[in-house]
Amino acid sequence: MASVFDVTLVCLILAVGAWSTFARLTFSAIVIFIVYGLLLSLAWVRLAAVDVALTEAAIGSGVTGMLLLNAVARLRSTDAAPTPSRSSVNIAAGVFCTLITASLAGLVLVPPQVPVSLAPSVMESLGQSGLGNPVAGVLFVYRSLDTLLEKVVLVLALIAVWSLAPDGLWGGKPALRPFPQRDSVLIFLARTVPPIGIMVGIYMFWVGADEPGGAFQGGAVLAAMWILVMIAGLAAVPPTSSHALRLALIVGPVVFLAIGILGIFLTGTFLAYPEGYAKPLIIAIEATLTVSIGVTLAMHVVGPPEKEWRS
Amino acid sequence: MTLILDVFTIAAVTVGVFFFVIAALAFLRFPDGLTRLHALTKVDNVGLGLIVFGLLPQAGSVMGALKLICVWLLVQFSGAIVTQLIARSTRREGQEA
Amino acid sequence: MAAAETSSIAGLLLVSVLILPVVGILAQLALGGRFLNWICLAVFPASFGVSAATCAVVWSHGEPLIYIVGGWQPPLGIALRADGISAAMMLVTAIIICAVAIFARVEFTQPSGAPEARAPFVFWALILALWSALNALFLGCDLFNLYVALELLTFAAVPLVCLKGGEATVKAALRYLLFALLGSMLYLMGTALLYGAYGTLDITLLAQRVHPERVTWIAAALMTVGLLTKTALFPLHLWLPPAHAGAPAAGSAVLSALVVKGSFFLIVRLWFDAMPGLGHTAGPQLLASLGAAAILFGSVMALRQQRLKLLVAYSTVAQIGYLFLMFPLAMAAEQSWTSLAWTGGWLQLFSHAFAKAAMFLAAGLIADALGHDRINDLGGAGRLRPLTFCTFGLAGLSLIGVPPSGGFVAKWLLLSASVAEGQWIWAAVIVVGGLLAGGYIFKVLGRAFTAGSDAPVIVTPVSLSREVVAFSLAVGAVLLGFFPLEPAEILQIGRPEILGSTVP
Amino acid sequence: MAIMNAITIFGLCAAALVGLGIFGLIVNPQPLRKILAINILGSGVFLMFGVIARRGAAAGLGGDPVPQAMVITGIVVAFSATALAVALLLRLVLVSGAATLEAEAEPSEKDGR
Amino acid sequence: MTLGEVLLVATLAVPLVTLVLALSSGSHRRTTILLVLAAIPALLTALFAESGTTVVLPQALLSLVLSLDLPGRLLLGAAALLWIATGAYAVLSRRGRENDNPFPIWWLATMTGSFGVFIVADLVGFYLFFTLVSLSAYWLVVDDGAPPAKRAGAVYVSFALLSEAFLLLAFVLLAVATRNDSFLIRDAVAAISTSPLRDPAMAFLVLGFGIKIGLVPFHVWMPLTYASASIPVAAVLSGATVKAGVIGLIRFLPFGVPLPGWGETLTALGFVSAFYGVLIGITQTNPRTILAYSSVSQMGLIAAVLGMGLATGNSITPAAAAFYAMFHILAKGGLFLAIGVAQKTRHRTEWTVLLPAAVVVLGFGGFPMTGGAIAKYAIKSPLGDGDVAMLAMVSAAASTLLMLHFLRCLRASRSHETRTTSAAEQSFIWLAIVVAVVALPWALYPAVIQASAHDALSFDALWKATWPVLIGVLLFGVLGRAPRILPMIPPGDIIVLQSWAWSGAKALGDATERIDEYLRRWSIAGSLLLVVTLALIGSFYVGR
């Protein structure tokens, strides 16, 4: 029988999700969405996927929440749009959505006869790569092409965001407005929390090889700390044309690609790690990835350049 | 021995939850933003403290217990600062409106 | 499997086809704007060479080229597979992207000495990303890997639409992105269901494990509709006209000719490779009827457009419909790849790619030269820019399906297939589509080549080199017309291995 | 009869979230709320992956690591999609002053080029 | 490569080379003498290449198959003559006039298509040249860009595209009937007559070629096009390019096996067109429109001849129809040139134009000793001697009436400004055509019908030829007294009816635009997406 906690958690998630969808004000919708994200990471813990819970909390609701809050602050002027009207189209859409949900629920209720899983084959050959965490194994050993392509997607999305700046401001500084007053409390926070945060981020990346954690989650924490410092005004927002920023952006994918190509010369196949050296190589990849992901996520939140900057 | 610890944990956690319930009630009852904020932070910190305190014996290892305490400290710390910021901004909005 | 099971040197071609454009983007970010021209000069020819080499290897061996990435066999790892149709698609993509690159070289050059400019930097990064994503789509053998490639494609296509930054183009780009994301999420849900039911996402393994049951139908439906949103088939075409009309000329050429075909390629992979069982259901008929509606609706809308770029965009909506006629016709045959409709469908895709790229480039040149692209005011412009309108005409011939053009051979094969299998409705739709296409092509050419009320004036001179590039693409569409009128051998490479053993 | 164990509950929750996400995306006129709905839809799809992973628990693991790795990649891709959508929306508001997706006027004349 | 094969290839190669030459040299603005010379190889092929020579071009040239048979040779020769004459006329009339539209390019393209259609022997090749001749003629029609020309061009191109659509379907049916192994027309026609696809194929063939030769419901484009095109263009369109439809019917109808069903329908269509053309023609006043309706009538007659041949399975019908069509090419083209020449001659010397025109006109009626007489005698055998032959006689009388009406309108419509610059040479071309019209049929008759010409001179044949002409003259006399009784019908007659079809199409277009605007609303598109998903799931369950 499903435990009471699970049932309440699911009901809570659905309630908060519905509330966020139908909230009158966009600002409250987004705040509720962040709560929804945290509840979801609880659900991931219940589904015994701690890695994913960390990712959901860090990226799914953390950084995305920051992004949406920043957006709603900018859009405050156009917020008074009415809630969805009760027109016939909406009712029809509702009916179709329930039909889709019903068909999916029907599938969920009838689990496949023979449970099918790749877990045994993952565990059986995980030992060769020296990694302890199976999810990290899948990400960086078995399906490393996915991870590489996904990194390229992240970098390309950033180029796309930057491309939305007007011609004149290309290479300029993104307009993250630091907190207006020279307020002591936020600066105090920005001075004390980041060291802990950075330590937690690095710990998360480091432990990722054997325990749940990894480059993505660590990178997200680092990004959060950097944004906190920038908002408090302690650190200047780097111009998008700064050489250091761009190098930091691409150091992750470049190292990943280099090691992949190295695999061709040493073992004859792309993205294959030579015997015995798998773990150090993967750690090297993850280290640079953490830095790149951190910088990229922060730059996504900060947005396209909006101020003149002549280096 | 474990029985005593379990009883202790259950007691502490229930009291903690009780504090949270009060905080929620206060949040709904109080008229304006500042008083709600006041109620929330104070009561939640105490509630969380009690729950963490109650769970300490359940934590597997000493490291686990330390992590729990770190979590509590971090929540205390950031909660207080964030409350300050929200209070200031609601007061400033109060003056402008 | 009989295929060349290698991670050999030839297999490395497949990897380099994926990786070279990505290296280009990373180099662009690392070195900045000053070296932009050098990077492009290095990466584009290299990528073209590798694509052509892969195509040559696959066509000469007559066997698909398989490469196991990272050395782990498919259920666990990811394989890259280049069979006949993916080699052909890679070749067409390489040719069109290089032609568009030469065309765009004038408009998007980084001025030497000046600080890094936005448009050139972004344009070349997006084109390279598009190329890498398309190659990943053609070679991918794992459904989730194809999802990531699809997202890479969308994220490269959306900013291309609003590169010029006008209000309408940004709105079109946002609509395109949101609708495409909805599609991707449905596709992802389908992948989840398939993995839950059969334990693998590799297409060749799926072909052996899939059997007709509820989870397969729902997964196939979700994935197909997810891909239909990106292919902009008739009822789901809301984003295509403003997006393709608003993009810069070079951008809209690549968008219409290639990006829309990438997701179509996946639908073919899904229906013909992963789940051939779908052929015995009424699914292909539904897809073809949507295609037929697209042909009729798109052509009538194209006839009514007042602006040239919108006319060409709606013509894309119509021509996509033809591709979906391939499903019922090819799947009716016992071995789908030997039927006339299979070759006809692919030829339609290739000739439309060439013709539409040429048409959008020509439309862009006309808009640049005359300062506007209102069709009614094109009176007599044919004399001012004869080569551009000649390009538009040649490409138009391929769309109408007039010999000697690729469009004609494709229509002939599709008509023969529909007549041979007695599905007359598709034959009627093809012919009416050709008529309507003739209508809107002659509407434009008629106004261009006959003296209008006020003599048009050239606003900004257009260099002949750009016109020659557009003309060469149109000639490409015509050269496809010399294809023999029977099922093409090279498009059948690698088909039997997937389906030979198990056709449920 | 379908066993109503914990995993199935989360499966039903995933299905419901997918329906909710699609409904929110279709119905809500505001683009920012549409982006929110896409994130809810995405979380629903990833939850389905989680349920399938949990059902594939074997060889001493709590769940099949392959779908879990896919979810991590999916979340990062979904984030970059959200970031691009938000940037586009902000640019749209900057340029047109209104945050609406309905194309009232066809691309106006000045975009004729 | 024998002489014949070289000539065959040259027929197409020379015009194409000239076209490329004109394109590249930039001299495509001025119409040079090359236009005339490009048609010479075709004439030589018709004269010297012996029937039956076939050439298979390499794969690089779409593996076209060119072959010359008797009907093809006759039509090719006559068309070449007409192209040379009208080419010379065009060169003279446009000398020095800097024209913007690339006239020579489209002239040469239409010429290539027109010659190609007569000598090509495979399906795809025929469709290629048929399209070439139809679509490039559009640019000749809209050459001077005047508004009526544009409207006529639009009507012309829509009918041309419609005919091509039908033909594409027909050819696909033929190809499928031969299981796609050989694309030769001969094999396709042989295979289709026995295959189940015969009826649809025949229907599309008759429709496709019917539109091209202007059978009644589809004839509206002819009067509009011929009235608004320039004189040489109208001459060559009414003469040579229309015959693409005739050669199509000759090649694609299975004359070997009698097909009474299709034969009768074609004959009926033919005679309806024949009489309809005359009925409307006599109400017109513009000489060009009258000639257009005379074309509709004559083409109707040829269709009737082919129909009867098909019904009775008479094997010499193709040759007879081609012979009559040859006469029609030269006569109709010549009369259009006559209009051009008449507008330039002075009042005093008008008889130099009207007298030869009278000879040609009487030929249409089949007056003895004229070219028309021998042509009508040739098509007598396929028509048999029942009531169909009587109908043919009546149609001869009717066309005599129409042509006399044409003569009167020609005389009345002569403009009085007397430009005599190139009039002399042009009238020389006109006279050359008249000589050809009279002499050529008599000369070629023995070779074509394998019977001596002198039994056509027997007394009863002569009498059978003269009484329809007499009736025609009589009717013309009666009509002359009371011109008021005839209603005024605008050229293109039922095109006026089709204007409501045009407004219907516009309404449909508006509705489509509203639907598209509705479908592209976000919430509608989203719901449609879900509908398509559910429909797909449903369709998978159906037919499993």
Per-residue pLDDT of chain C (504 residues; tens, 9 = 90+): 334 444 567 778 889 999 999 999 999 999 888 888 889 999 999 999 999 999 999 888 888 888 888 888 888 889 999 989 999 999 999 999 999 999 998 888 888 878 888 889 999 999 999 999 999 999 999 999 999 999 999 999 999 999 987 889 999 999 999 999 999 999 999 999 999 999 889 999 999 888 888 899 999 999 999 999 999 998 899 999 999 999 999 999 999 999 999 999 999 999 999 988 888 889 999 999 999 999 999 999 999 999 999 999 999 999 999 999 999 998 887 777 778 899 999 999 999 999 999 999 999 999 988 888 888 888 777 777 888 888 999 999 999 988 888 999 999 999 999 998 888 999 999 999 999 999 999 989 888 887 766 777 888 888 889 999 999 999 999 998 888 777 888 888 877 655 544 443
Q: Report how far residue C378's alpha carbon sits from residue C445's, in angstroms, rounded to the nearest whole number.
A: 9
In chain D, count H helices and then E strands: 3, 0
Is position A22 within any domain?
yes
Q: Is the pTM of this model over 0.80?
A: yes
Which among E211, E136, E217, E135 has a CA at the least distance from the CA of E167? E211
DSSP H stretches of helix in B1-97: 2-29, 33-55, 62-96
In a domain, D40, yes or no: yes
Mean of pLDDT values over A53-75? 90
Q: Is residue D61 part of a domain?
A: yes
Mean pLDDT, residues E307-316? 83
Nearest CA in chain A to B79: A189
What pLDDT score does C307 carry?
92
**Which of E523, E524, E530 lies at the smallest CB-CB distance from A97?**
E530
Please provide residue E361's backbone torsions phi and psi, each rounded to the nearest 5 degrees.
Answer: -60, -45
Q: In chain A, whose CA is at the least distance from the CA of E533?
A: A100
Q: C166 and D95: CB-CB below 8 Å?
A: yes
Closest CA to C462 of C347, C366, C355: C366
**Among candidates C35, D58, E349, which has minimal Cα distance to A122?**
D58
> Which residue is it, tokens 């683009």?
D31
* Enclosing domain of residue D83: 6-97
Tell me: do A100 and A170 sit in the same domain. no
SS3 E486: coil
Please tell me the total count of domains within chain A. 2
Nearest to A249 by CA among C437, E516, C57, D80: D80
Q: Which residues contact E524 (CB under 8 A, 6 or more apart)?
A: A89, E518
Q: What domain range includes position C248? A: 4-500
Residues of A with Cβ-Cβ distance to B88 under 8 angstroms:
181, 183, 185
Q: By residue range, what is the domain housing residue A299?
A: 134-311
Rounded-to-integer distance, Cα C285 and Cα E326, Å: 50
- B83: nearest Cα among B28, B31, B44, B29: B44
Interface test with D, best of C76, C174, C301 (most D CBs within 10 A): C174
Instruction: In chain C, count H helices and then E strands.
Output: 21, 3
Q: Is the pLDDT of residue E141 over 50?
A: yes
Q: Between chain D and chain E, are at least 3 CB pairs below 8 A?
A: yes
Measured N-to-C along each axis, helices E123-141 and E185-192 cross at an angle, to the nearest 10 degrees, of 110
Q: Please check whether residues A36 and A111 belong to one and the same domain.
A: yes
- Check CB contact of D70 with chain E, cutoff 8 Å: no
Query: With an 8 Å Cβ cutoff, are E523 and A89 in contact?
Result: yes
The answer to whether B74 contacts chain A (CB < 8 Å) is: yes
B62/C239 Cα distance (integer angstroms): 58
Sign, CA dihedral E121-E122-E126-E128, equals negative
Are A290 and A209 in contact by the 8 Å Cβ rule? The answer is no
Gap from C475 CA to chain A (nearest CA, Å): 34
Contacts of C246 in chain D (CB under 8 A): 107, 111
Mutate to test the interface with C, among D8, D20, D30, D45 (most CBs of C within 10 A): D45
**DSSP character for C501?**
S
| Chain C contact present for A165, CB below 8 A | yes
C82 backbone dihedrals φ, ψ, rounded to 5°: -110, 105
Strand-strand pairing, A305-307 and C78-82: unpaired
User: Cβ distance E47 to E7 under 8 Å?
Assistant: no
pLDDT at E96: 61
Residue A36 lies in a domain: yes
pLDDT tens-place string over residues C197-224? 998 899 999 998 888 888 999 999 999 9
Q: Do the chains contact at D22 and E526, CB–CB below 8 Å? A: yes
| Most confident segment among A61-70, E31-40, E69-78, E319-328 | A61-70
pLDDT confidence of residue E453: 67
Tokens encoding E427: 């009238």
The owner of tokens 């999305």 is: A157
Q: Is A31 on the interface with B (CB under 8 A)?
A: no
Q: Do E520 and C218 touch (CB under 8 A)?
A: no
Phi, then psi, of E482 in degrees rounded to 5: -130, 70
CATH number of the domain residue D17 falls in: 1.10.287.3510
In a domain, D36, yes or no: yes
| Distance in angstroms (rounded) separating the CA atoms of residues C171 and D101 | 6
**For residues E222-244, average pLDDT:** 87
Using one digit for the tens of pLDDT, what is the confidence trace for A190-249? Answer: 888 899 999 999 999 988 888 888 889 999 999 999 998 988 888 888 888 888 999 999
Distance CA A260, CA E514 (A): 54
Residue E518: closest CA among chain A residues belongs to which residue?
Answer: A89
Write down the residue that tokens 């950033």 correspond to: A158
Q: Would the CB atoms of A59 and D70 count as touching at under 8 Å?
A: no
Helix (H, G, I), strand (E, B) or coil at E435: helix
Average pLDDT over every residue of A31-39: 93
Evaluate whether residue A166 is within a structural domain: yes
Q: Name every chain E residue with its beta carbon within 8 A of the beta carbon of C504.
A: none
Give the residue, D45 or A112, on which the prediction is more confident: D45
- Please determine, for the modelled complex, whether the ipTM score is greater than 0.95: no
A2 and A33 together in one domain: yes
Q: Is D111 inside a domain boundary?
A: no
Residues A112 and A148 in one domain: no
Residues 6+ away with beta carbon under 8 Å from C7: A268, A269, A270, C67, C68, C71
Whether the CA torsion C130, C133, C137, C138 is positive or negative: it is: positive
Residues of chain A neighbouring D50 (CB-CB closer than 8 A): 43-44, 47, 49, 52
CA dihedral E434, E435, E437, E442 (to 10 degrees): 160
The answer to whether the Cβ–Cβ distance between D112 and C188 falls below 8 Å is no
Q: How far apart are CA E358 and CA E469, in angstroms?
A: 13
To test the contact with chain D by mutation, choose from E521, E522, E531 the residue with the greatest count of D C-beta atoms within 10 A, namely E522
Residue count of chain B = 97
What φ, ψ does residue B20 adopt, rounded to 5°?
-60, -40
Taking alpha carbons only, the member of E420, C365, C49 closest to residue D113 is C365
Task: Give the pair of three-digit tokens for residue A116.
Answer: 């099918």
Q: Work out the number of other CB atoms within 10 angstroms of the CB of residue C488.
A: 18
Contact E62 C281 (CB under 8 A): no
Q: Give the count of domains, chain C.
A: 1
